[in-house]
C-alpha cells in the first residue's frame, strides 16, 4: 500500500504543506485571528460574534477549536486553502475543520458554497471542483475533491463497489465516553430517519420487516476496535461499511459509549446506580452531552465549556484505487485536530506509533483519468 503523508498541524494554527516547504500567508493569519487563534484573542479568551456553541459570556472558547461559523466567506476560503494536504492533477485533498457543513440550504456558508472561490484560489481556472467524499458537518477530516468529472465518477463507483463488497475504505478515530465491551467487533443495526423534536435523526428499528426496508429502513454495519483506554474513556478505530447519516455516532451509542461531543445522540444513554442503559430513541430529544464531574476535571473544562465540546470523530485515512487495476491502493492520511490531540493528552490516551503519520513515508499522488488535465502541481 502506498501512503500519502499529511503534515502535522500545529496546536494553534493552520499550515499548508507545499512539496518540501511550509508557508502561512497573510490571508490565513487573518482568518486564524478572526477564528480566535491570535495572541490577542488567546489573551482575551472571548469568542467572536455569536455561535450556536457559545456558553456564558465569561467563558473562553473551547481550547484548540477553529469555529467555521465565525468566519467570513473570504476567511473560510483562506482556511480551506491552507487545509489542502495534497493537490495532484485533478484531485485535491483537504483536512476539513470540525463544524463546517458540506452542503446546506441556499445562502448557508458551506464547503459546497465556496467551491467556486476555492477553485479559483487553487488555480483550476474553468475546471470546476466537485465533492467526491467528505465527512459530515460535526466530523473533521479528509475531504476529496476532483476537477475531472471522469475521475470523480470512477472514484464514486469505487466507493460504491467497496460498500457492496463490505471492503472498508475510510477509517475514523473517535474518543468515547465509556469503554466498549468487547474491545473489538462489528456493530449491525437497522436504522431509519425519524423526526425527533423537529430534527431528522437515525433511530434503530428491531427487527426490520420487508415493509420497513421498503419504507426507508437501512441495514448498517461498522467495524470497531479499541486502541487505548484511560480515565474511563477510549480511543476507538472505526470503519463504516455502509453509509447512513450519523451512523458511527448511533453505533457507539448502541455500545453505551457515546462519542465525546455528541450533542445529538448521547442523551439516549442514561445511568442508574453506575449502570448504563438505552432510553427509547423515538422519545429522547437531542440535548447537550452531560459529562460527570470527574471527567470535566480531567478535561479542564467548566460545564459551560463542555456545552461547546466538539464532536471527537475524525476521518483519519481514506483508501483510493491505483491508476491501473493492479496498482496497490493509495492511503491518504490527515492529522488529528488540535482539540482532539489535547483531549488525548488530558485523558492519557497515549497514541501508538500507528496513529501518527510518519514524515519519512513517501508522498504518492493519485493520477486522474486521461482527458482531464489538472491545475499546476503542488
Q: What is the CATH number of the domain that holds 295?
A: 3.30.2350.10
pLDDT band at 195 (very low <50, low <70, confident <90, very high): confident
Structural domain total, the chain: 1
pLDDT, residue 199, reads 84
- Residue 336 pLDDT > 70, yes or no? yes
Element (H, E) at 2: strand 2-4
Min mean pLDDT across 161-175, 238-252, 315-329, 340-354 is at 340-354
234 is a domain residue: yes
- Of 212 and 144, which is predicted with more confidence? 144
Q: How confident is the model at residue 50 (pLDDT cuts 50, 70, 90)?
A: very low
Residues spanned by the domain of 204: 1-12+87-101+120-378
pLDDT at 333 over 50: yes
Average the pLDDT over 105-109 and give the result. Answer: 91
CA 3/CA 43 separation, integer angstroms: 39
- Mean pLDDT calculated for residue range 173-192: 96
Q: What is the pLDDT of residue 210?
A: 72
Residue 34 maps to a domain: no
With vertex at residue 40, the alpha carbon angle to CA 34 and CA 42, rounded to the nearest 5 degrees, is 85
For residue 368, tell me if it sits in a domain: yes
Residue 348 in any domain: the answer is yes
Tens-digit pLDDT profile for residues 14-28 = 333 332 223 334 444
- The reported pLDDT for the residue numbered 31 is 42
Is 43 part of any domain?
Answer: no
Residues 255-280 have a mean pLDDT of: 96
1 confidence band (pLDDT: 50, 70, 90)? low
> Could you tell me the pLDDT band of residue 224, with boundaries at 50, 70 and 90?
very high
**Do the domain assignments include residue 225?**
yes
Does a structural domain hold residue 164?
yes
Q: Would 195 be classed as within a structural domain?
A: yes
Task: Say if strands 269-272 and 275-278 run parallel, antiparallel, or are unpaired.
Answer: antiparallel
DSSP character string of 108-174? ---TGGGHHHHHHHTT-TTPPPEEEE---TT-EEEEEEES-HHHHHHHHHHHHHHHHTT---EEEEE
Cα separations in angstroms, 154 against 194, 204, 218 = 33, 33, 25
Could you read off the pLDDT of 197-208 as tens digits, one per residue? 888 899 998 877
- Please report, for the chain, how many H helices and E strands are present, in that order: 10, 16
**370 band by pLDDT with thresholds 50, 70 and 90:** low
Mean pLDDT of the chain: 81
Instruction: Return the percentage of the chain with pLDDT > 70, whole number.
Output: 76
Please give the pLDDT value at position 196: 83
**Whole-number percent of the chain with pLDDT over 90:** 60
pLDDT by residue (tens digit) across 115-168? 999 999 999 988 899 999 999 999 999 999 999 999 999 999 999 999 999 999
Q: Does residue 76 register a pLDDT over 70?
A: yes
Amino acid at each position: 500500500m502506498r501512503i500519502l503523508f499529511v503534515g502535522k498541524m500545529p496546536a494553534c494554527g493552520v499550515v499548508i504543506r507545499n512539496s518540501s516547504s511550509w508557508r502561512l500567508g497573510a490571508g490565513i493569519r487573518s482568518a486564524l485571528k478572526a477564528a480566535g487563534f491570535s495572541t490577542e484573542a488567546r489573551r482575551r479568551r472571548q469568542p467572536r460574534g455569536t455561535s450556536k456553541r457559545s456558553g456564558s459570556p465569561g467563558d473562553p472558547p473551547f481550547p484548540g477549536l477553529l469555529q467555521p461559523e465565525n468566519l467570513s466567506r473570504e476567511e473560510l476560503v483562506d482556511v480551506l486553502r491552507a487545509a489542502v494536504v495534497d493537490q495532484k492533477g485533478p484531485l485535491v485533498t483537504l483536512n476539513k475543520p470540525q463544524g463546517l457543513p458540506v452542503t446546506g440550504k441556499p445562502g448557508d456558508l458551506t464547503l459546497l458554497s465556496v467551491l467556486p472561490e476555492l477553485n479559483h484560489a487553487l488555480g483550476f481556472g474553468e475546471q470546476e471542483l466537485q465533492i467526491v467524499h467528505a465527512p459530515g458537518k460535526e466530523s473533521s477530516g479528509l475531504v476529496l475533491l476532483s476537477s475531472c468529472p471522469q475521475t470523480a465518477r470512477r472514484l464514486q463507483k469505487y466507493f460504491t463497489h467497496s460498500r457492496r463488497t463490505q471492503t472498508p475504505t475510510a477509517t475514523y478515530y473517535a474518543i468515547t465516553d465509556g469503554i466498549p465491551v468487547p474491545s473489538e467487533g462489528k456493530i449491525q443495526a437497522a436504522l431509519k430517519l425519524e423526526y425527533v423534536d423537529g430534527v431528522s435523526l437515525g433511530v434503530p428499528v428491531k427487527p426490520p420487516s420487508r415493509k420497513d426496508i421498503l419504507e426507508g429502513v437501512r441495514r448498517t454495519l461498522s467495524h470497531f476496535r479499541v486502541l487505548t483506554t484511560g480515565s474511563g474513556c477510549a480511543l476507538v478505530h472505526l470503519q463504516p461499511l455502509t453509509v447512513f447519516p450519523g451512523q458511527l455516532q448511533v453505533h457507539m451509542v448502541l455500545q453505551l459509549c457515546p462519542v465525546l461531543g455528541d450533542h445529538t445522540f448521547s442523551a439516549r444513554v442514561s445511568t442508574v446506580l453506575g449502570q448504563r442503559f438505552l432510553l427509547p430513541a423515538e422519545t429522547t430529544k437531542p440535548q447537550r452531552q452531560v459529562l460527570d464531574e470527574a471527567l470535566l476535571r480531567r478535561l479542564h473544562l467548566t460545564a459551560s465549556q463542555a456545552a461547546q465540546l466538539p464532536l471527537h470523530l475524525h476521518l483519519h485515512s481514506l483508501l483510493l484505487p491505483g491508476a491501473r487495476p493492479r496498482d496497490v491502493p493509495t492511503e491518504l492520511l490527515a492529522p488529528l485536530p488540535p482539540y482532539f490531540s489535547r483531549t488525548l493528552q488530558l485523558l492519557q490516551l497515549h497514541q501508538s506509533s500507528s496513529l501518527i503519520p510518519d514524515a519519512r513515508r513517501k508522498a504518492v499522488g493519485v493520477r486522474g483519468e486521461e482527458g482531464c488535465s489538472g491545475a499546476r502541481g503542488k
